[in-house]
Structure 1
């Protein structure tokens, strides 16, 4: 009897666990996932998205109302304000946690009682596609598994990665400055556990196949509650080996393939997204051969786009865009310019030189931002990310400081993001135009809290209803642009994209629908000065009728030019 899924899974497992009985382990994982070992494969290179897909990134408790669980308030806000705007909701970790605003999970199978319950999550999943974090690299030091690790009992006894102070850890790559190893007193003596991120976030040991089986069960539980997008948090660090950098190891890539294989056989429309905040070339490897992540974050976009808009020079952004390979069918990019984390600087390695990075850092600090650091293998501390609300990050330029173009610059950034190849993702505080939250940062003592404000729904609704309020203007203009984007086949995440060469003050690219029945020339003035665009230079086809989708302006004289005000964008399309 042919069992293609079982055979394929066993082959993958043999790479990760060469000393184990891979066919037996494969059979066990299939049972845990509830799959027959001859289950049919989903269609190859299937795009589980189109131009109408737009993601919202939010914490479960960002929007609050007195006397109501935040997940219920969030659904009400989504239905009242965003039902025609977003299709995917990334619910940042909504589990019981002990630190890091949810990313130190105590129980993967429970919903934080202060947020709501599984029925609330399922209610959102019935109306929107929901992305959940799979916090797969580490777990809370206050979890039951870790308590069992200290007691030396199962489940948990061998679930966490250990090393010794005398081991050669000099090559390990980390995003933090805290100690890598943490001494823990257990029932059989002192042990040293590996903590990539913090003492409270203890790395799991995937060399133990029991840990893999546990996560397969966790994934199935999420699938059965309607979750269809899985964000694999910090997955680049998943497999550790003493004497290596312990990042991007081959076993990590194989484990992603294994989990994707199981997920898509269970629910073919599911999407796996890897979160790897690393230099661009390293990040691209997580697409594999269309057999690892369906989607990867475009981590270089936020710092490069911010740098472009505060310097008025698109050279580095254009160079990066030209270097990006078109995603294979069945894969794409997640475009974002703000999130719950800071603006990563490692993704600019090889794209900005050190002086340019420092100038960008200095500019963000002058606009009220902070800088977080990481420790390199040689023991030095280097800037890792800039912590700032995007609205404040774009309040001025590097040369002249704050100015009166903040709103236009902010909208321009999102107009670029909306048009690029990939799925656009809006952090809720960018959609609302939220400023730096200094009070929250001081209360928590963490720089990242500067961009993690919490909103009372009554006050938010008042702000969004007031035409004089910048929150109202940001929210409504971004919604208008999103509505335009969602109607354009040329903005399909996998539609053709080519970079235009219009000098350093105009950033442009061309998109063409997969049926070749629509072209859109996306041109953005990234400066505080008026710019002229020669239409002859972009070679619009004379037999087509062209108009700007954003303003509705018809383009009649194809041999002439158009004038772009500071930070103005046009989407010139041959269909409306």
Structure 2
């Protein structure tokens, strides 16, 4: 096994570091050998239709005298979510200094404020764990960076020093913040590369010691049972002045290197890349089937929001036709909301400028903060809508109405029907409105979508059978219970978008991997009833009377009427 690993890693390292890589290779193989006894495979296959992810903070739910990770575990178990959620993505659960966890002080210790590795092991008795490997940067308060500031030679090349007069205009910026940050060190003033903030210090992967250190972190997560590793902001990890410093060939080579490690020592573990960029750039991290197993569908959240706010699914349908397939053994990570806002950069080339602007203003009218980035010409443009997906789909002044609930549930139903694995953010699971007070308290726009609950408070909301949040929770739970039983919703099951003359109607067909079952997904994205001609929509013909899995009703052979924001899962099996 280790010989196989060495033979696969050698050409990767050569492309990264040149010809003298044997010492680096030996150290990597030794790391793998050290961790191998603790890396246990718990599944005999990578995924199936039962896979559904929950995205949450480790301290999302809190109770006195209990570690928040334990409280989260108890909540999921007590609310009966074990049968419809396969995996919990616990957002960075390490000690941190800013960015709600993404400015990590210590990569391998669980934040004592959340719990311990034992609490995460307990959680894994009921669900798989997805963990973040924050590759690009670490906290300015970390031991590594503090040692660099103090002049420790070990860390002298861990970070990227740059001349403040250097021309960095070609570097693509994800945020409207300075690229270089001034620090006083034992060797004098230094300007350090900080892509995301002055507290998030970029790591220098041109130094092999950095790769070794971060691969040790990677293998540590695998040793603690993490089945899915999320590579945060991986597109930015390699820098070359004079380039955009994003998606460079070396960044892809690092992903391939980590994929090689998984393929050899943990073949049923999953690598997922997080690159909030236009669609073509995003899916480049599939490589030739040799990079990420999954990529985020970053274009889906804004396209779906646009369709449901306008009643016009044309851009969504056009995009969906382009993402029906990926290489065997790969699939998409479908979501509508996460700890960040709704990224709008991935809309590039998918909607007109006018429609883009209308979406931004529609979100703003629903309480969204609009975050901007600095463009290459020095101008500012929106890159993120900071709003809960629940509030984004309300009509101003009508939040929580029955029609709003239907519209929101439609968004989640469409998302979980598409080819890939569905992921539900905690605040979508419980229909959380904008946390306006939270954003005002922290002064950070993203806090609007990061409310934390006391367990007693959340229980009171969900125990109220009349509350919109209870209806959203019950609706999603019912949908997931149905979905996980359908072979046609396997993550790699083929998908074909159906043609419709009515822009309010979005439809596609899913077919099981063995071809024995199929589901027609029909969604009305408008606030008015629409009629669907099944003979026209079913492009292969032969459609007959069917059953809607969601309502349980039998449908006619030829024409269906879909109520406002109704979604059907039609099967004749």
TM class by shorter chain equals over 0.9
Distance 1:545 1:523 in 2: 15
DSSP-derived class of the 1:571 partner:
strand
CA shift, 1:24, in A, is: 2.7
DSSP-derived class of the 2:130 partner:
strand
- Matched ranges for 1:355-504 at <5 A: 355-396=354-395, 405-502=403-500, 503-504=502-503
Match of 1:333 in 2: 332
Inter-CA distance 402–222: structure 2 relative to 1 (3 Å threshold): closer
DSSP-derived class of the 1:326 partner:
coil
CA shift, 1:127, in A, is: 2.2
Match of 1:14 in 2: 14
1:202 aligns with 2:201: yes
Match of 1:513 in 2: 512
Distance 1:239 1:151 in 2: 25
Are 1:47 and 1:330, in contact at CA under 8 Å, matched by a contact in 2? no
Distance 2:534 2:124 in 1: 45
Inter-CA distance 430–23: structure 2 relative to 1 (3 Å threshold): same
Q: Which moved more, 1:151-160 or 1:278-287?
A: 151-160
TM-score w.r.t. the length of structure 2 is 0.95
Match of 2:227 in 1: 228
Are 2:550 and 2:569, in contact at CA under 8 Å, matched by a contact in 1? yes
- Matched ranges for 1:197-276 at <5 A: 197-276=196-275
CA shift, 1:47, in A, is: 6.0
- Structure 1: 5+ residue runs without aligned partners? none
Distance 1:402 1:109 in 2: 42
Deviation digits for residues 456-493 of structure 1 (CA, Å, limit 9, x no counterpart): 11121122122101111000000000111100000001
Are 1:145 and 1:155, in contact at CA under 8 Å, matched by a contact in 2? no
1:302 aligns with 2:301: yes
Deviation digits for residues 209-259 of structure 1 (CA, Å, limit 9, x no counterpart): 101000111112111111111000000000001111000000000011111
Are 2:366 and 2:396, in contact at CA under 8 Å, matched by a contact in 1? no
CA shift, 1:358, in A, is: 1.1
- Matched ranges for 1:100-111 at <5 A: 100-111=99-110
CA shift, 1:541, in A, is: 5.8
1:91 aligns with 2:101: no
Match of 1:568 in 2: 566
Match of 1:553 in 2: 553
Inter-CA distance 36–346: structure 2 relative to 1 (3 Å threshold): closer
1:55 aligns with 2:57: no
Inter-CA distance 544–422: structure 2 relative to 1 (3 Å threshold): same
Inter-CA distance 403–226: structure 2 relative to 1 (3 Å threshold): closer
Match of 1:531 in 2: 530
Distance 1:7 1:269 in 2: 20
Distance 2:57 2:184 in 1: 34
Distance 1:414 1:285 in 2: 26
Distance 2:45 2:222 in 1: 19
Are 1:145 and 1:157, in contact at CA under 8 Å, matched by a contact in 2? no
**How many residue pairs are counted as aligned between the two chains?**
564
CA shift, 1:66, in A, is: 1.4
Distance 1:210 1:164 in 2: 23
DSSP-derived class of the 2:97 partner:
coil
Distance 1:462 1:567 in 2: 28
Considering only aligned residues, what root-mean-square deviation do their CA atoms show, in Å? 2.0
Distance 1:505 1:397 in 2: 21
Aligned to 1:74, which of 72, 75, 94?
A: 72
DSSP-derived class of the 1:440 partner:
helix
- Structure 2: 5+ residue runs without aligned partners? none
